[in-house]
Amino acid sequence: MSVEVCNYRLTLRGKPVGTHVIKTEEAGRVRRMEAQSLFQGALGSSRVLQRSRSSVGEHHSLDFREETQERSEKRTFEVDFDADSGLVRASKGPKDRSEIPYLRPYRDPLSMLAEVRRLGDSGATEIAMLGKDVVVQFLGAVDLNTALGDKRANAYLLHPGNSVVYVDSQAPHAILKLTQRLPDGHLDALIVSIASEATLEGFAADDRPQERGSKSGRRRRGRRRQKRRGRN
């Protein structure tokens, strides 16, 4: 299946401050998403790259990675939602790791947006997130003037934070606008174009080692179980 590519223009108090791109690919039961933000002007110069793998039908996250490049400094944050072990593992570096029980079907920031696209005109919805749950409230339908023409959109208010997501009422229900409240004003992501690509290339290199490691881990656990049975 082809990759949906949504391109946005970022503005703060009406002035351009960068670009934002969200790529989405659904293959079988797994959704892969990539979001890249390039900031400039009043927000400084930085790049934020997020990657997510989640369930197509249930939206819960499988893993999430965020890289922030700011001048010469690079920060990485990774989360692995391991249902088999019952643990959520988070890492900010080799010496900064933590684990918590996997108690609920947590979403990550990208899979949450994918879920909002499918809410329709439902009432308030609570989405399980790490740290604090997000309540999504349907505000109603509004008319938007976009680079794609005049659109009818469903508006959703997100608590906490009071961000607003505007979703095209027509399939495939693309996100037309996102508004985030900042101390200096409203940061808006306004859609510029919707295109497609053949594949999400960044995931090809990332997934293969994880899959090999996961399979080898299962094999090692299987061997240990067999050895224990042999001793017994």
User: Is 18 part of a structural domain of the chain?
Assistant: yes
pLDDT tens digits, residue range 134-153? 999 999 999 999 999 999 99
Closest CA to 173 of 116, 135, 122: 116
User: Is 158 part of a structural domain of the chain?
Assistant: no
Q: Which domain holds residue 32?
A: 3-107+173-221
User: Is 230 part of a structural domain of the chain?
Assistant: no
User: Is 30 part of a structural domain of the chain?
Assistant: yes
Percent of the chain with pLDDT over 90: 74
User: Is 189 part of a structural domain of the chain?
Assistant: yes
User: Is 76 part of a structural domain of the chain?
Assistant: yes
Average pLDDT, the chain: 87
Q: What is the pLDDT of residue 203?
A: 72
Alpha-carbon distances of 181 from 158, 159, 186, 202, 211, rounded to whole Å? 11, 12, 5, 30, 39
pTM of the model: 0.85
Count of domains forming the chain: 1
Lowest mean pLDDT among 28-42, 99-113, 115-129, 205-219: 205-219
User: Is 137 part of a structural domain of the chain?
Assistant: no
User: Is 150 part of a structural domain of the chain?
Assistant: no
